[in-house]
Amino acid sequence: MADRLIASFLKQHAPGVTIRADLELDAGDNRVTVLFGPSGSGKTTILRCLAGLDRPQQGFIRFGEEVWFDAAARIDRPPQQRRLAYVSQDYSLFPHLTVEQNIRFGMDTAGRQPRDRIDTILRMVHLEGMGGRMPTRLSGGERQRVALARALARNPRLILLDEPLAALDLPLRDPMRQELRQFLRSIDVPSVVVTHDRVDALTLGDRMAVLSGGYIRQVGPVPEVFSRPIDLAVAASVGVETVVPGEIVDSSDGLVTVRVGASQIRVAQPSIVARSVFACIRAEDVTLETSPRTEVSARNQLAGRVTSMQPEGAVVRVTVDCGFSLSALITRPACAELGLRENSAITAVVKATAVHLIPRENDT
């Protein structure tokens, strides 16, 4: 059975600035954990504590049978004894060393590694034949792969990546997301990836831990956390566009009716969570149509008017007043086909399963 990382610790930077972490991960099907949150929320601090670069004031970090850190027992293994790989945001390659020399630097016995070991690592990161190049002659994506290769050279039991795509130009990010995802899934090593980018999180992660207010507020499968945030802070962190207060007024057959502003919406909810709730709706779950449909289904069809339109690349963000303010994302061709403009009459369609309710009295 693969070794499991269990970490529960507290790191205080200054009075009133405290980061708490509670994490468990292994090398199973959920091997890639994304640590997600806004800049300054403490993600890198948690990663550095796991790596042994920063020391928490309280708690413990265990990997398998080993104790890497225990404040009460005064145990604090240095980074080199934790046998992990830490890749910083800027990759930290040695500019005066070749690709091969950078990789050899990461090895415990740099001078005695066989040639085929280097070649194997270069193949793993798709850098065959590039061992003699200098970092200045590499693209951003190639430099990232050299950093990964150097990290793998130590046969790590845990990989820590701090904003691994942030240094790349935008055209490189999409292909590198897919490449990094395939790479992390191809090795039987648990990984923690720090990012504040929603697309990075959705692409790279199996599981996701959302950091807000100095501690991890929710951990779960990535799609579940994005679509079912546990509270308002998580909803804000993962970018739920419509979050509005409401009151549950009815419940039957697995559907609850929520009064939101001047409208009512139906929600697929097996049980009432509370009478006073926040209704959360992602913009991509909203469909816009010129008129209501006649077929009966568990869908909400909300008559309204367009109050604003904001182009965002290939899509347009449309805000609709349908008794409350509702955000929708549609493609530019769909916008043109519907003939949308400000003050256009429109019907917003939202499936009952696409609405998520958060109890208001439990929110902090």
Reported as a single tens digit per residue, the pLDDT across 122-181 is 888 888 888 899 999 988 888 888 888 888 888 888 999 999 888 777 777 888 888 888
Nearest of 24, 33, 30 to residue 159 by alpha carbon: 33
152-185: b or e for each residue (b if 16 or more CB lie within 10 Å)?
bbeebbbbbbbbbbebbeeebbeebbebbbebbe
| Contact in structure between 184 and 87 (CB atoms under 8 Å) | no
Query: How far apart, in Å, are the Cα atoms of 165 and each of 40, 51, 140, 239?
Result: 17, 20, 9, 20
Average pLDDT along the chain: 88
Tokens of 212: 């807000």
Tokens of 183: 């790479």
Res 267 pLDDT > 90: yes
Tokens of 71: 């404040």
Query: How far apart, in Å, are the Cα atoms of 138 and each of 101, 143, 191?
Result: 15, 6, 25
pLDDT in tens, 36-73: 998 888 999 999 999 999 999 999 999 999 999 999 99
Every domain of the chain with CATH number 2.40.50.100 lies at 240-359
Q: What is the pLDDT at residue 364?
A: 44
Give the DSSP H/E element, type plus range, for residue 173: helix 170-186
Average pLDDT estimate for 310-331: 94
Unique residue bearing structure tokens 């850098």: 127
Every domain of the chain with CATH number 3.40.50.300 lies at 5-236
Q: What is the pLDDT at residue 115?
A: 72
Residues with Cβ within 8 Å of residue 224, at least 6 apart in sequence: none
Nearest of 140, 136, 202 to residue 176 by alpha carbon: 140
Q: What is the pLDDT at residue 140?
A: 81
CATH class of 5-236: alpha beta
Average pLDDT estimate for 97-122: 76
pLDDT in tens, 187-231: 888 999 999 999 899 999 999 999 988 899 999 999 999 989 999
What span, in angstroms and rounded, lies between the C-alpha atoms of 74 and 66? 14
CATH 2.40.50.100 fits 240-359, yes or no: yes
pLDDT in tens, 6-33: 999 999 977 778 999 999 987 777 789 9
